[in-house]
Amino acid sequence: MSLTPHSSRSQIVTVTEVIDETDLAKSFVFDAEWDYRPGQFVTVRVPSERTGSVARSYSLYTSPFDGTKPGVTVKRTVDGYASNWLCDNITAGSELEVLPPSGVFVPESLDVPLLLLAAGSGITPVMSILAAALRTGTQPITLLYANADPAATIFRERIARLEVEHERLTVIWWMESERGIPDADMLAALLTPYHSRPTYLCGRDEFMAACKEAAKVIGTPRQLVHQEIYASLTGDAFADIVPHEVVIEDDAPEVTVHNLGATFTVPWPKDESLVDVLINNGHDVPYSCQSGECATCLCKLTKGTVEMAVTDGLDPDDAEDGYILGCQAKPTSPELEVEY
Ligand SMILES: Cc1cc2nc3c(=O)[nH]c(=O)nc-3n(C[C@H](O)[C@H](O)[C@H](O)COP(=O)(O)OP(=O)(O)OC[C@H]3O[C@@H](n4cnc5c(N)ncnc54)[C@H](O)[C@@H]3O)c2cc1C
Ligand code: FES
């Protein structure tokens, strides 16, 4: 049976291959031609008899520069719904409805020395960045990759092969079966030589907390540390923002937006989110989950103030630097300015 899209932004893709990566993780390769950037993710609509569907994001492990079809890697979550459904039900030839690649966990440059930190399934976006930087860059890359043991290590053979092929790649394999769970002190001791590198990290919460603490200890400038937070979306990411009539009060705040080289000013009614306002005004700005959980709508507030109901997807350090989630932001000052 052929699927039909539930949103103007979604696509139906065919899974061309399913790869058993470990006992708990499978990769799904899509027959899709996407213009994506290393580190981005897609959002999959998983059917449910209970709720109709759930939306879950999965990072692309592939590199856009390798000439291969894009794919995601899904690790079964204990008692998880969607990850187990995908691993149990999707085979080569299955169709899935997905929102195409989005996300901001993307290096500004792939041709600078990089520090990559991953644990478990957190390797997925990091693998994409690693493969892209090896293909297009020339600078040294260090990857620290923590796992329970070798059998649980996703892409173990592929990374080992890259390590042999590329002298500028250093891999620190961290097996918890031998060394225990890495804490901030252990990481700081290993990572000191890399304190000036842009750092990309992804993994379970405690691992990310330890990495961020270690980065602080070794003096990595905060702006160089980027993380991808895995969370299950709670909203309906597949719902479209429907153009609607808005009554603009005389005293409505105004926002000046700098986006893709263009600058424009629009009224921003107090009960509308920034994404709602801009899409409603016909401006193409990025968004995905619409529930404050994925950071695709990240932008920088350079003037004024906003309130946000949900900030789960917003790194507290980014928030301190003035970044906001456009899908949650509502104005609390008369004049505002944002940069995408
Ligand atoms: C940007 C981003 C990138 C990510 N990348 C990856 C990745 O590369 N690889 C990866 O493995 N994960 C990734 N994740 C995490 C992934 O999106 C999911 O959070 C993860 O797979 C767990 O989802 P789950 O449904 O299996 O588990 P849970 O979310 O823990 O499942 C339980 C939830 O499902 C609900 N539920 C249970 N049964 C049903 C039912 N029958 N119908 C409807 N709801 C039900 C429960 O109420 C509960 O809320 C990423 C997340 C984000 C935000
Ligand atoms: S669109 Fe996902 S956080 Fe705003």
DSSP states along 114-158: EEEEEEGGGHHHHHHHHHHHHHH--S-EEEEEEESSGGG-TTHHH
Helices 184-191, 205-218: axis angle to 10 degrees equals: 50
Which ligand sits nearest to residue 40's alpha carbon? 1
Mind listing the pLDDT tens digit for each residue in 81-140? 999 999 999 999 999 999 999 999 999 999 999 999 999 999 999 999 999 999 999 999
Name the residue of 99, 105, 276, 288 to mutate for ligand 2: max ligand atoms within 8 A of Cβ: 288
Check pocket membership of 293 for ligand 2, CB cut-off 6 A.
Answer: yes
Give yes or no for a contact between 233 and 291, defined as CB atoms under 8 angstroms apart: yes
Choose one of 54, 89, 126, 312 to mutate for the ligand 1 pocket test, by most ligand atoms within 8 angstroms of C-beta: 54
Describe the chain by its helix, strand, coil percentages, rounded to 5. Answer: 25, 30, 45
Ligand 1 site, residue 169, Cβ cutoff 6 A: no
**Residue 290 Cα to ligand 2 middle (Å):** 5
Q: What is the pLDDT of residues 161-177, one digit of tens each?
A: 999 999 999 999 999 99
* Percent over 90 (pLDDT), the chain: 89
Q: Atom of ligand 1 at shortest distance to CA of 230?
A: 51
Query: Would you place residue 1 in the very low, low, confident or very high pLDDT band (cuts 50, 70, 90)?
Result: low
**Rounded (5°) CA angle 213-217-222:** 70
Q: Is 278 in the pocket of ligand 1 (CB under 6 A)?
A: no
Instruction: Using the mean position of ligand 1's atoms as its centre, give its distance from the Cα of residue 77 in Å.
Output: 7
Ligand 1: centre distance to CA 33 (Å): 25
Contact indicator for 238, 53 with CB cutoff of 8 Å: yes
256-302 pLDDT tens trace: 999 988 999 999 999 999 999 999 999 989 898 999 999 999 999 99
pLDDT recorded at residue 65: 97
* Contacts of 140 by beta carbon, 8 Å cutoff, 6+ apart: 113, 114, 168, 169, 170
Q: How far is the CA of 229 from the centre of ligand 1 (A)?
A: 12
Residue 223 has pLDDT above 80, yes or no: yes
Q: Are 293 and 236 in contact (CB under 8 A)?
A: no
pLDDT > 70: percent of the chain: 100
CA separation for the pair 146, 207 (Å, rounded): 9
Three state DSSP letters for 286-306: CCCCCCCCCCCCEEEEEECCE
**Contact in structure between 297 and 327 (CB atoms under 8 Å):** yes
- In the numeric block, the tokens 């719904």 are attached to 81
C-alpha to C-alpha distances, 314 to 45, 89, 227, 293, 294, nearest whole angstrom: 23, 32, 10, 8, 8
Check residue 321 and report its DSSP letter. T
Nearest ligand, measured from the Cα of 54: 1
Tell me how far apart the alpha carbons of residues 116 and 142 are, in angstroms, rounded to a whole number: 6
Output the six-digit token pair for 337.
């300015």
H helix runs in the chain, sequence order: 82-89, 123-136, 156-165, 176-179, 184-191, 205-218, 274-280, 316-320
Indicate if ligand 1 lies below 6 Å from the C-beta of 46.
Answer: no
Between the CA of 56 and the centroid of ligand 1 the distance, in Å, is 5
Separation between Cα atoms, residue 336 and residue 267, nearest integer Å: 10
Nearest one of 204, 26, 60 to 120, comparing CA atoms = 204
Which ligand sits nearest to residue 204's alpha carbon? 1
- pLDDT band of residue 317 (cuts 50, 70, 90) is confident
Determine the pLDDT at residue 276.
Answer: 94
2 versus 268: the higher-pLDDT residue is 268
For the whole model, what pTM was predicted? 0.95
In whole angstroms, give the CA distance from residue 79 to residue 73.
18
Q: What is the pLDDT of residue 247?
A: 82
Which ligand is the nearest neighbour of the Cα of 327? 2
What are residue 33's DSSP bridge partners?
none
What span, in angstroms and rounded, lies between the C-alpha atoms of 340 and 333?
19
- Work out the number of other CB atoms within 10 angstroms of the CB of residue 120: 23
Pocket test for ligand 2, best of 240, 285, 287, 323 (most atoms within 8 A of CB): 287
In the beta sheet, which residues pair with residue 73? 27
Residue 234 CB–ligand 1 contact under 6 Å: no
Q: Is the pLDDT of residue 234 over 80?
A: yes
| The amino acid at 78 | V
